Structure 1
């Protein structure tokens, strides 16, 4: 008993040390991100700009201050928010489908966003971000319907439904864009699918931040259920976990959050797949710790 208490204490200390280290690393990454670019801002000037902004002083260098606050800072912060959101979604999806290769776009969300942005957004002339969100959410709802049709949701059905939706939505989008879109439309859709933070502004940073913060707060309260899911269906059912119910709730939340992030900055892959594994290597396999580690480790 004493040995277990000592081990748990050591694990908590290790977790706190890792989190503090990641926060410090994130801070320096932000500093580098706003300083490096076509116009290189010296680090001492970056420090001066932050101090001037904090004390509400007139900027000593208007050009540097304008580039940093109006262009680079929103993009860097958007990258932090999007990275945190996709990392969280990856952690949840890997628990829901019990597959270490699962990631947020497993539900066909990327293909749905592609269809929404390409067909509704560009061909019809409606707003790109809004239609991309609708497309992403529609794909997730379609996957949920297919995977729960006439029976409860299973990991196999969820993965197969996501694969079907991804292929179907991508094929429809490609067909309509090629035959209905102009060269400019095709170029814009292609650029959107590559993912970009160039559209980040202070006024469109609030919604993703609130969404990521809210969903993160919710999943931090669900770590016991996520841990049970990771142990397998039989153990989770034995522990009284309503798998079908929680899979639907978690999948909808992941779809909602990923849809907002996709609508904001396009399709950014790899983050939701790899960061959960890096977080596990740093802080351990438990979901509550992975959520914390993955939030800062991008």
Structure 2
């Protein structure tokens, strides 16, 4: 009885708002705390000295001491290397978590995830073709990101189309379609590397296939953060529609809402976020599965709370995952995609073993 009471309290609107507020405070605190960790040991006073004077100079014009000024080694490590990758990690984590929530609503299945459904592989293929062969070069400097978006979008629609052949999509059909398309995208990526016949080609692709935040910079971060904020706010405003998707098209029509066009719009927006994530950080799996699943267990399926809490939780999760990647192996950095897969794969197997794939308890 006590567990049920606690669960009911956690799923109340006031508790959801409290969780959002708490996570909203915890995220910047996590960024500030995580910047002190790295492969290079730095005194805490130097780490926070750079951040403090950087902020005071920007806000009030306070002079920065020489040892922490722009151009110094301490400044460059903290401000140009560590903090940008943490901000990128937060943005990518939020993007993948929100995309996971939306995809799970679209297909009415908690197993949906950009990585499992092969959408990240589609984005990676698009980025690979752009990087190795200049596909989409007419788009200029952003051609790699644009092609990652195109690849994600094409695979998104292909998965939905294949899963619905011969009847309504089920968990098994979605997984099979996603696995098949992921294998196809992976095969074409490998074929592209083979055709390139360049010893440097595998090194160019490695950050997309294994995931990593090491290439982060403030210029690309701005676009990523703006896109994630805009996408998250948009999907918060769509909470009612996302809730209706869980009820099915027939129920939605009786309530005066046609879900067909909205699904397409949502897929386009999630594909954009996934494409940007792959472009900036490579393929990072299972964030869109693990984070929404954990939040849904605590707060329920109401997207008014599920979307913002998942975004914040995903951001915090990937920030500390990056810290773990930089500190678990002394002198080496583990690709973040490996760590998230090690953490997420058991959750995926657990969900599969339950044989209950629908939100309402339906079997796939």
With normalisation by structure 1, the TM-score equals 0.84
Per the alignment, residue 61 of structure 1 pairs with 67
- Tell me how far apart the structure 2 counterparts of residues 120 and 27 of structure 1 sit (CA, whole Å): 35
| 1:38 counterpart SS class | coil
Per the alignment, residue 209 of structure 1 pairs with 225
- Residue 157 (structure 2) pairs with residue 144 (structure 1): yes
Per the alignment, residue 16 of structure 1 pairs with 17
- Tell me how far apart the structure 1 counterparts of residues 276 and 110 of structure 2 sit (CA, whole Å): 24
Q: Residue 213 of structure 1: CA displacement?
A: 1.3
Per the alignment, residue 4 of structure 1 pairs with none
- Conserved 8 A contact 1:111-1:169: yes
Q: Residue 272 of structure 1: CA displacement?
A: 1.1
User: Residues 10 and 93 of structure 1: is their aligned pair in 2 closer, same or farther, counting only changes over 3 Å?
Assistant: closer
| 2:101 corresponds to which of 76, 91, 113 | 91
- Tell me how far apart the structure 1 counterparts of residues 185 and 253 of structure 2 sit (CA, whole Å): 34
Q: Residue 226 of structure 1: CA displacement?
A: 0.4
Deviations 1:158-191 (A, max 9, x none): 7665444333222222223234332321232133
- Tell me how far apart the structure 1 counterparts of residues 143 and 66 of structure 2 sit (CA, whole Å): 39
Q: Residue 73 of structure 1: CA displacement?
A: 0.9
| 2:82 corresponds to which of 72, 82, 95 | 72
Deviations 1:219-267 (A, max 9, x none): 1111001011123344333333312211111111111111111111111
- Tell me how far apart the structure 1 counterparts of residues 45 and 180 of structure 2 sit (CA, whole Å): 53
Per the alignment, residue 204 of structure 2 pairs with 188
Q: Residue 201 of structure 1: CA displacement?
A: 0.6
- Conserved 8 A contact 2:159-2:181: no
- Tell me how far apart the structure 2 counterparts of residues 279 and 76 of structure 1 sit (CA, whole Å): 22
Aligned residue pair count: 292
1:228-247 aligned within 5 A? 228-247=244-263
User: Residues 280 and 42 of structure 1: is their aligned pair in 2 closer, same or farther, counting only changes over 3 Å?
Assistant: farther
With normalisation by structure 2, the TM-score equals 0.70
| 2:275 corresponds to which of 259, 264, 269 | 259
Q: Residue 218 of structure 1: CA displacement?
A: 1.1
Q: Which runs of 5+ in 2 are unaligned?
A: 1-7, 58-62, 318-364
- Residue 35 (structure 2) pairs with residue 34 (structure 1): yes
User: Residues 159 and 226 of structure 1: is their aligned pair in 2 closer, same or farther, counting only changes over 3 Å?
Assistant: farther
Question: What is the CA RMSD across the aligned residues, in angstroms?
Answer: 3.1
- Residue 295 (structure 2) pairs with residue 279 (structure 1): yes
| 2:35 counterpart SS class | helix
- Conserved 8 A contact 2:153-2:268: yes
Q: Residue 148 of structure 1: CA displacement?
A: 5.5
- Tell me how far apart the structure 2 counterparts of residues 164 and 140 of structure 1 sit (CA, whole Å): 16
- Conserved 8 A contact 1:84-1:295: yes
- Residue 103 (structure 2) pairs with residue 103 (structure 1): no
- Tell me how far apart the structure 2 counterparts of residues 135 and 116 of structure 1 sit (CA, whole Å): 4
- Conserved 8 A contact 2:208-2:278: no
- Conserved 8 A contact 2:244-2:251: yes
- Residue 189 (structure 2) pairs with residue 173 (structure 1): yes
User: Residues 211 and 155 of structure 1: is their aligned pair in 2 closer, same or farther, counting only changes over 3 Å?
Assistant: farther
Per the alignment, residue 143 of structure 2 pairs with 130
Q: Residue 129 of structure 1: CA displacement?
A: 6.4
